[in-house]
Amino acid sequence: MDPFVLVVDDHPETREMLERVLTLEGIRVRTAGSVLRAVEALHDGSPRPALIVTDLMMPQTSGWDFLKHLRGEPDLQALPIIVITGAEPGEGEELADVVLRKPFDPLHLVETIRPLLLSRSTPN
């Protein structure tokens, strides 16, 4: 199965835009509208994403809590994570592989994702 990106954002417009841009660039995408849905998707037995793109400012459970969860689980901690946020730089950013500030250039996101996906799909 080809690698895919899991996009986690509570704003439907942002999820749809990211999905559209990445799909047009030939990148497979699945989406989740909340951290809870993303965690469920990661534990439901379906294939795991090769990379996660997530927002930080979300209701119920923040993106930071999501990153802490991912980095705390042995079978998930190596997943590359790209954070897209409007938040000011702060503590906890070391949990992400890449932090992009809003507004961001979607093509820059694609350029950031491609090498991470290639490294995940190449046999060791």
For residue 121, the model assigns a pLDDT of 56
User: Of 92, 99, 100, whose CA–CA distance to 70 is shortest?
Assistant: 92
**Structural contact between residues 117 and 27, judged by C-beta atoms closer than 8 angstroms:** yes
Q: What's the predicted TM-score (pTM) here?
A: 0.90
User: What tokens does 110 get?
Assistant: 């694609």
For residue 120, the model assigns a pLDDT of 63
Write the CATH number for 94. 3.40.50.2300
For residue 1, the model assigns a pLDDT of 57
User: Of 61, 75, 67, whose CA–CA distance to 91 is shortest?
Assistant: 67
As averages over each run of 10 residues, the pLDDT of the chain (124 residues) reads 88 95 95 94 92 89 87 92 84 85 90 85 48
Per the structure, the count of domains in the chain is: 1
Range of the domain at 85: 4-121
